[in-house]
């Protein structure tokens, strides 16, 4: 049986696993925001300084692309 010591590489893995829920929450928020953005009309987009083309481009991005 193999036991993992608390090494730098193992702690990096643990950090990644611990941050998965945070990433999931961010991805869901981005998904909802992009869906809402896609529903705005030209006047609403103009109010926030976006063109229809810019909004469409942003709304089409996948939910995991939030950087």
Digitized pLDDT (tens) for each residue of the chain, 67 residues in all: 455 455 555 566 666 666 888 889 999 999 999 999 999 999 999 999 999 999 999 999 998 887 7
**41 within some domain:** yes
**63 within some domain:** yes
Return the ∠ at Cα 38 (arms to 34 and 41), rounded to 5°.
Answer: 140
**67 within some domain:** yes
**57 within some domain:** yes
**52 within some domain:** yes
**7 within some domain:** no
**16 within some domain:** no
> Given this model, what pLDDT does residue 15 score?
62
Range of the domain at 36: 24-67
The total number of structural domains that make up the chain: 1
pTM of the entire predicted model: 0.67
**8 within some domain:** no
Return the ∠ at Cα 10 (arms to 6 and 11), rounded to 5°.
Answer: 75
> Given this model, what pLDDT does residue 6 score?
52
């Amino acid at each position: 049986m193999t036991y993992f010591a608390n090494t730098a590489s193992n702690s990096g893995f643990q950090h990644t696993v611990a941050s998965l829920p945070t990433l999931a929450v961010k991805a869901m928020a981005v998904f909802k925001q992009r869906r809402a953005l896609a529903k705005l009309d030209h006047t609403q987009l103009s109010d926030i300084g976006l063109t229809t083309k810019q909004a469409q481009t942003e709304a089409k991005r996948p939910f995991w692309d939030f950087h």
